[in-house]
Chains A and B, each alone.
Chain A
Amino acid sequence: MTEVALQHYLGVGAILFVIGLIGFMTRRNLIVMFLCTELMFQGVAINLIAFGAYNGNLAGQAFTIFVLVIAAAEASLALGLVVLLFRQKNTLDADAWREMKG
């Protein structure tokens, strides 16, 4: 069994990022939109870990820890905001907040 090249991990990360991007653009449910940002975080984390492993240092893993920290902070704040928005309009539809666009 030959070894997996770095490119394959980068490819998986890129595909996960793109899928999250498409989901963020298309879905209208606020919660699913934030799930899709988490999907994009996953792709970036796989990229960072793969680069760190193939470069032979720990910087990739350390960076991924900070990505996880930001993801956790973002999730808690975003879900608090989603609950607040839901209590105001009684819907999770992102289009319900159309009047906010400039």
Chain B
Amino acid sequence: MLNPVMLLALCVIAGIGTAIALPSRMELSMRRIGGVILLASGVMLVAWLASVMKSGMGGYFWVFAIIAVVSAVRVITHERPVYSALYFVLTVLASAGLFILLSAEFMAAALVLIYAGAILITYVFVIMLAAQTTPGDKPLVGVAEYDAVSRERVIASAVGFALAGVMLFVIFDKASAKTGIESRPAAVAGGQMATGDLGAYLFTHQALALELAGLILTLAMVGAIIIARRQVVGGIVNENEPVEQVNSIATPVDDNPHSIPVYGTANPRAKAYPQT
């Protein structure tokens, strides 16, 4: 029912567009042309799917799906990391909309809170901490060289869209043979799966996994604190002066019982971030 040659052609076109649109030394106008090619292949895919599959004309689904995919493309093609992070927020919001369409309201709220709220704020903070000002050409002032030029664009696009073609073909051609998952159960579509049911399910069927998830989060928090507090020895900043690395047993930094000792420094009583 689905022509694989057509799908292959669409994936090739989209791959060429992505390879051109990714950051490189090419002119900005050329990269815009790549974006237009990618957009055209996306429009063709949508139109083709809408004509082949008779169902699937839900307007909200298309709005959210198009926002999600277009901003995902902008995440990987924008050369400034802050804009990539903000476009990722857009992707997260659009997929939260998809979750609501699938009557998973709690997961939509959790996605917005955790991703758009917590994780993205951390990303933006790290981007600002690691910001560098580098001289660049006129349209890309302040963009570092490793952001402006990506590596292996053609091969990566070929591999990615080969995978996309295979997955889309399997999804749209083979999966339709299995009837029964074509339409959603009436209980689900009517909104019977509420947040309370999800909580009951989690704490009855998945109680142990839930506790393990909490343990993993605690471990990650402790690990992140220990990693981030470690003193960097031999970095670029103090490359000129010889640094001897002493791995002595850390002694408390000061009388404050909450301060964390610093490992791997010459002076174990040094603070990780001295007030200089």
Query: Which applies to chain B's interface (DSSP): helix, strand, loop or mixed?
Result: helix
Cα of A86 to Cα of B153 in the assembled complex, Å: 25
A1–B98 CB distance below 8 A: no
A20–B72 CB distance below 8 A: yes
The answer to whether B151 has its CB under 8 Å from any CB of chain A is yes
A90–B146 CB distance below 8 A: no
B95–A6 CB distance below 8 A: no
CB-based nearest B residue for A26: B150
User: With A5-B55, A42-B91 in contact, do A75 and B119 touch (Cβ < 8 Å)?
Assistant: yes
* Contact stretch, chosen from B27-35, B165-173, B241-249, B253-261: B165-173
Cα of A55 to Cα of B189 in the assembled complex, Å: 11
Query: B202 contacts which of A35, A65, A76, A82 (Cβ < 8 Å)?
Result: A65
The answer to whether A100 has its CB under 8 Å from any CB of chain B is no
The answer to whether B44 has its CB under 8 Å from any CB of chain A is no
Please report the total number of A residues contacting B with Cβ < 8 Å: 78
Indicate with 1 or 0, residue by residue over A19-33, a CB within 8 angstroms of chain B CB atoms: 111110111110110
Query: Which applies to chain A's interface (DSSP): helix, strand, loop or mixed?
Result: helix
Query: B185 contacts which of A38, A50, A56 (Cβ < 8 Å)?
Result: A56
The answer to whether B130 has its CB under 8 Å from any CB of chain A is yes
Point out the residues of chain A lying under 8 angstroms from B53, CB to CB: 5, 7-8
CB-based nearest A residue for B64: A12
CB-based nearest B residue for A95: B146
B130–A92 CB distance below 8 A: yes
B95–A46 CB distance below 8 A: yes
Point out the residues of chain B lying under 8 angstroms from A52, CB to CB: 102, 104
Cα of A83 to Cα of B13 in the assembled complex, Å: 38
Point out the residues of chain B lying under 8 angstroms from A49, CB to CB: 98-99, 102, 104, 107
User: With A8-B65, A32-B84, A49-B102 in contact, do A73 and B220 touch (Cβ < 8 Å)?
Assistant: yes
Minimal beta-carbon separation of B160 from chain A (angstroms)? 4
Query: A90 contacts which of B110, B115, B172, B235 (Cβ < 8 Å)?
Result: B235
Point out the residues of chain B lying under 8 angstroms from A36, CB to CB: 75-76
Residues of A within 8 A of B (CB): 1-12, 14-23, 25-29, 31-32, 34-36, 38-39, 42, 45-46, 49-50, 52-56, 58-62, 64-66, 68-77, 79-84, 86-95
Residues of B within 8 A of A (CB): 18, 22-23, 49, 53-59, 61, 65, 68-69, 72-73, 75-76, 81, 84-85, 88, 91-92, 95, 98-99, 101-104, 106-107, 110-111, 114-115, 118-119, 122-123, 126-127, 129-130, 132, 144-147, 149-153, 155-157, 159-161, 163-164, 167-168, 171-172, 175-176, 181-185, 187-189, 193, 197-198, 201-202, 205-206, 209, 213, 216-217, 219-221, 223-225, 227-228, 230, 232, 234-237
Q: Identify the 6 closest CB pairs spanning chains A and B, nearest first.
A: A23-B76, A73-B220, A25-B156, A93-B146, A56-B185, A22-B160
Q: List 17 A-B contacts (CB under 8 A).
A: A11-B49, A12-B69, A27-B150, A28-B146, A31-B123, A34-B123, A53-B102, A58-B197, A62-B201, A64-B104, A65-B107, A65-B202, A71-B115, A72-B119, A75-B119, A79-B122, A79-B224
